[in-house]
Amino acid sequence: MDSLFLQYLLNWLVLGSIYTLVAIGFSLLFGLLNVIHFSHGDVSMIAPFVALGSLQFLLGITSSTVGIGPILLVLALAILVTGVIGIAADRLVISRFRQAPAMMALVATVALGTVVRELIRGFYPQGSNPKAFPSIVEGFVTLNSLRLPALPVLIIATTVLVIVLMAALMQKTPIGMRIRAVAEDAATARLMGITPSRIFAFTFFLASAVGALGALFFASYAGVVRFDFGVQLGLIGFSAAVIGGLGSMTGAVLGSLAIAGIETLVQANMADGASYRLVFCFLLVIFMLCVRPSGLLGKPVFEKV
């Protein structure tokens, strides 16, 4: 019973971690721009494909197994490339809707997500087929008397580290202060000598890079990646951010844990759990929003008359 419980606990925390990494991006961008970057999931899903492609390239050169150093390099490259694509997505599409009604940006980013998916499907070698994705680490780690599989531990530990680093970045560094200043009031921030466009670019890079990490973990944990995985990951990440309260990082974490929790519970306790998983996730979303319309940690919005 103990090992089964541990299994579920690990599963819950891993899913929660992956969703958190995606949800943080939604929260960060919404806090700054008041825009829902609906293609965030699809942009993040570019990372596993970059990683797979460059890994195959490396294998082609060395024609032997790849060591841990090159693997880290490949992962870093994938995260970097995805971050830059995040900036490009903003420059090419999203930035055009800064003054437009929120609905426009929403629909445009949904279309942008389709563009990203279709580009992968159409131009990545055999892009429409599912591809096996290797586990980043193999084996087990031993903590006291506990013997835990290494990958979940790595995912959870990395996510905790990322959250701590992000919080430190936002609260303790000059760039974090600038981001918060622009989020508060872009016009005044400009008067204070801050260039909002640079802050936007940096934030898009950060959000996409963290999302890329989430997508890499997701692919590695599932062992497989497909061009359209980004839709569901994006939808769940977005839901997690909204449940927690858009714009709040702690909220993103709580929302992710809530969604991952209900997913794990349903899968553990229902006969048909796997197929009804999404139904319960999104019923939770509806229920939460009806009970707390601005999310768990979202500030209630007061209207100015």
Q: Which of 67, 122, 130, 223 binds another protein (CB under 8 A)?
A: 122
Q: Does 305 bind another protein (CB under 8 A)?
A: yes
Closer to another protein by CB, 165 or 283: give it.
Answer: 283
Minimum distance from residue 30 beta carbon to another protein (Å) = 7
Stretch that binds another protein, among 80-88, 116-124, 148-156, 257-265 (CB under 8 A): 116-124
126: left (phi over 0), alpha (psi -120 to 50) or beta: left
Q: Which of 73, 80, 106, 150 binds another protein (CB under 8 A)?
A: 106
Q: Which of 6, 9, 72, 111 binds another protein (CB under 8 A)?
A: 111
Distance of CA 235 to the CA centre of its chain: 10
Q: Which of 165, 167, 192, 283 binds another protein (CB under 8 A)?
A: 283
Closer to another protein by CB, 98 or 131: give it.
Answer: 98
Minimum distance from residue 220 beta carbon to another protein (Å) = 26
Q: Does 272 bind another protein (CB under 8 A)?
A: yes
Closer to another protein by CB, 97 or 221: give it.
Answer: 97
- Give the integer Cα–Cα distance in Å for 44 and 46: 5
Minimum distance from residue 35 beta carbon to another protein (Å) = 9
Stretch that binds another protein, among 132-140, 172-180, 253-261, 269-277 (CB under 8 A): 269-277
| 32-61: contacts with another protein (CB under 8 A) | 36
Q: Does 278 bind another protein (CB under 8 A)?
A: yes
Q: Does 118 bind another protein (CB under 8 A)?
A: yes
Dig out the tokens for 251 from the structure. Answer: 């909220």
Q: Which of 12, 19, 30, 229 binds another protein (CB under 8 A)?
A: 30
Helix axes 174-184, 196-222, angle to 10 degrees: 110
In the complex, which residues of this chain contact another protein (CB under 8 A)? 30, 36, 93, 96-97, 100-104, 106-108, 110-112, 114-115, 118-119, 122, 231, 235, 238-239, 242, 246, 272, 275-276, 278-279, 282-283, 285-286, 289-290, 293-295, 303, 305
